[in-house]
Amino acid sequence: MVSGDTNGPARVYDRIAPLYDLYSGPMEWMGGAQRRRRLLGQAQGTVLEVGVGTGLNLEHYPPDVHVTGIDISPRMLSRARRRAADADEEVVLEVANIEDLPYHDDRFDTATATCVFCSVTHPVRGLRELARVTKPNGRVLLLEHVRPRNPILGLLADLISPLTRRLFGPEVNRRTERNVEAAGLEVVTIRREGVWREIEARPRPPTA
């Protein structure tokens, strides 16, 4: 939903926006909604959600948080605005690029992303931006699918990934756990279930 290339991926998600919720439906029924609820229920204070898409996550936040959501797809955001109208708290929605976030350092208590870093062109750069805008004592909450550990399934993911990216946006062979650490985030917990990862991380304190 968010990418550093603001032309190609934006066009893909603008194109599939009317069908995105239908396309995501099977994943939601097979545990996606439960994973979102479990992860996002941990959010606190001021929240930045990158790749907010059609706003599927908005109903899963605690009632006392203040959410800012960004996406590169105006058509996805137009659908998110409909959901935001039903939220208990005001939700700010903006077109922005995760690899160059328009926010000052240490702005948010919590940063979140669900099924986003499979489609960011330069995921480590995007994760570094999340670390930058999150307060030193804040949290980064991620729900992502990753390259299967099984060698055969991993090879299959490598083979079909160019096609899934062109048609639907995501790559299915990302190594997001490795990218989180490469971005300088400190992993607190990881819940692994098949190809799914629920990751809680925090900005790594600067070394003396």
In the chain, the domains with their CATH numbers are 8-203 (3.40.50.150)
* Least confident piece of the model among 71-85, 91-105, 146-160, 190-204: 146-160
Instruction: Specify whether the CB–CB gap between 202 and 140 falls below 8 A.
Output: yes
The per-residue pLDDT for 2 is 43
For residue 79, the surrounding DSSP H or E stretch is: helix 74-84
The per-residue pLDDT for 89 is 78
pTM of the shown model: 0.86
pLDDT tens digits, 60-91: 999 999 999 999 999 989 999 999 988 777 89
Q: How far apart are CA 39 and CA 60, in angstroms?
A: 9
Which of the pair, 85 or 141, is modelled with greater confidence? 141
Mean pLDDT, range 55-61, rounded to an integer: 93
Instruction: Specify whether the CB–CB gap between 54 and 18 falls below 8 A.
Output: no
Instruction: Specify whether the CB–CB gap between 42 and 138 falls below 8 A.
Output: no
pLDDT tens digits, 110-124: 999 998 998 888 999
